[in-house]
Amino acid sequence: MKIISPEHFERMEMMSRNFGAKSKSNSLFLSEHEISKEINGMIRSIKKPTETEFKNIVELIKSIDNTEHYDGSQWYDYKIHLNAILRINGFELNII
């Protein structure tokens, strides 16, 4: 999958690691960590994304809305970063 820049994707990776670290003392971060980790893995492994793969990512990011999670500013920032990657890959859906 195309990324905007290595730094942009590294920020997404850093946010995921941060969710993981915070989940050790606050379980509300656990779902954010798990979903961001899975999405980041998909971004790394998918070379040319299909419509189905885009939809899978969107379903993952939206599935967290059905769970209790921290939902702080860093989660919002993660979604902004993800939205930018989806757009650069030709998928026009605002996930924020």
Question: What pTM, to 2 d.p., does this model score?
Answer: 0.93
2/20 Cα distance (integer angstroms): 25
Joined together, the tokens standing for residue 64 give 């967290």
Q: Please state the domain extents for the chain.
A: 6-88
Q: What's the per-residue H, E or C state across 27-69?
A: HHHHHHHHHHHHHHHHHHHCCCCCHHHHHHHHHHHHHHHHCCC
- pLDDT tens digits for range 48-84: 999 999 999 999 999 998 899 999 999 999 999 999 9
Render pLDDT for 3-61 as a digit per residue (tens, 0 to 9): 999 999 999 999 999 999 999 999 999 999 999 999 999 999 999 999 999 999 999 99
Its sign, for the CA torsion 47, 52, 88, 7, is negative
